[in-house]
Amino acid sequence: MPHDRRRSKTRVQVQAQRGVGLIEALIAFLVLSLGMLAIARVQSDMRAHAELARQRTEAVRIAQQDIETLRAYSVLTSTAGARSYDQIAPASATIDSIAPTRYDLARQVVAAADGQAASVTVTVRWNDRRGESQHATLASLIARGGPALAAALQSAPSGVAVLGAFDRSPRIPLSAKDLGDGRSAFKPTSAGSVAIVQDNRSGQVVARCATTALTTVALTLATLTACDTTAGLLLSGTLRFTQGTPLPFEIALALSNGTYPQAPQCTTTAIEAGDSRAVYHCVVYPSASGTNAGRWSGAARIVPVGWSIGLTPEARRVCRFSSDLDGSGAIDRNIEHPQAYVGVDTALAQQNFLVVAGTDSCPTAAPARIEGDAADVYADLGTVQHQP
C-alpha cells in the first residue's frame, strides 16, 4: 500500500506540470511579437525622419534660391518677378510646389531706416507624411546696389565709417604707427621733424606735431610735442618722372570759396634710391564758415625747384592721372582727380601726377582689362595735361 501511494503521488505531480511548456512558448511569442513591432516602428520612424530631412533640405534650398534671386538684382519688392527697389513692401507670398510635397514660400521684406538695405526673411512651410506642419526660415540683409556693383568688395552707406587694414580708416597710410589711444601717426618725411596724427575711425587729421622720433615706427605719445590740433584733411599722391630720378619740387594749393584757418601744410619726399617716384602729403584745413564750412576747394599745382614747367625741350610737362570712376563721361568728382577740387570733405589719396618732357604729350591709354574678359575694367592709366 505505501508503495502504491508513492506511485499515485508521482502521477499527480506529473499531471500538474502538463501545459507549462505551452505557456512559456506563448510568452516567448508575445515578446518576439513586441520586438518585431518595435523594429517595424523604428524603421517607420527612420523613414519618416529621413523623408523629413529631405523635405527640410529642399525647403532650405527653396529659401536660399529666393534670397539669392533677390540678391542677384538691384531689385527687392513684394511682387514676384519685379526688379525694382522703388516698390519695397512689408511682406509677400508665393507658392512653390514640388511633387509629392507642396511648399508654401512666404517672404517678408523690411526696408532699413537709412534706405540702403533691406532685411529679408523667407519662410517655407509644408506638411510632412503624418500631416504635421513643418517650416524652415532663413533671414538675410540685402544691400541696395545695382548688378554692376555685384563684384564690389565693399559698398557702404554715406556717413558710415568704413574700417580697413589694422581696423583703421583706409584713409590712414598703412605705415602709420598706432598710438594706442584711437589715433595713428606717421612721418611724411623720414628725415623731417613733423608727424601727422589721424583719427583711427574717420581718418581725419587731428594734429600736426613736432617729434624727436627718427622713424614712423619709433613714434609714441611721448615723442610727440608742440602739437597743432587744428582739424584737417589729408591730400596725398605720387609724382612719377619719366626721365629718371625725381627732381626737387613742392606742392602748392590755391584755396578758394571760403575763409580758411591757416594755409595748407605740404611735404614731399622721394620714395627710395633708384625709384622714379616721389610722394607728397598735404594737410588742408577746411573752411570754418560760409557755404563751404567743413570743406575745402582749390587746385593743386606742382612748383618746380631748380627746373621749369613748359613746352620746350629743356622744360617739363605735368600730367594728371584721372579716371572717370562713375562713368559720367567727365572728371567731375574729387576722387577722380579733377583740375580743381570743389567741396572736399574727406581725405583724398592716389591723386597722382606724371612728369614728362616738355615736348612730349601726356600719354593716354585705354583702361586695362582682365585678360579674356573685355568687360572687366581694373585699371585706368590715362592722363590729361595739368601744367602748363
Instruction: List domains and CATH numbers for the chain.
Output: 48-147 (3.30.1300), 230-387 (no CATH)
Where b means 16+ CB within 10 Å and e means fewer, 23-49 reads eeeeeeeeeeeeeeeeeeeeeeeeeee
pLDDT bucket at 353, cuts 50 / 70 / 90: very high
- DSSP annotation of 191 reads T
Q: For residue 150, is pLDDT > 70? A: no
197 neighbors 224 (Cβ within 8 angstroms): yes
Work out the average pLDDT over 250-268.
90
Of 274, 254, 273, 276, the residue nearest 264 (C-alpha)? 254
- Average confidence (pLDDT) over 178-201: 89
- Work out the average pLDDT over 339-346: 91
Q: Say which residue, 13 or 230, is predicted with more confidence.
A: 230
Three cell numbers, residue 45: 520612424
162 versus 363: the higher-pLDDT residue is 363
| Res. 160 pLDDT band, cuts 50 70 90 | low
pTM score, whole prediction: 0.56
- pLDDT at residue 96 is higher than 60: no
| Pairing assessment for the beta strands 233-241 and 353-357 based on DSSP bridges | parallel
Phi-psi category of residue 70: left, alpha or beta, with phi > 0 → left and psi -120 to 50 → alpha: alpha
DSSP SS3 for 285: coil
As a dihedral over the C-alpha atoms of residue 70, residue 62, residue 102, residue 110, rounded to 10 degrees, the angle is -40
Stronger pLDDT, 91 or 316, i.e. the higher one: 316
- CA 293 to chain centroid, in Å, comes to 31
Residue 6 has pLDDT above 60, yes or no: no
Cβ burial of 126 (10 Å; 0-12, 13-18, 19+) is buried
The pLDDT of residue 356 is 92
DSSP bridge partners of 110:
119
Q: What is the mean pLDDT of the chain?
A: 79
Query: Three cell numbers at 252?
Result: 602748392
What is the CB neighbour count within 10 angstroms for residue 247?
Answer: 17
| Beta-carbon contacts of residue 66 (< 8 Å; ≥ 6 apart) | 94, 105, 107, 122
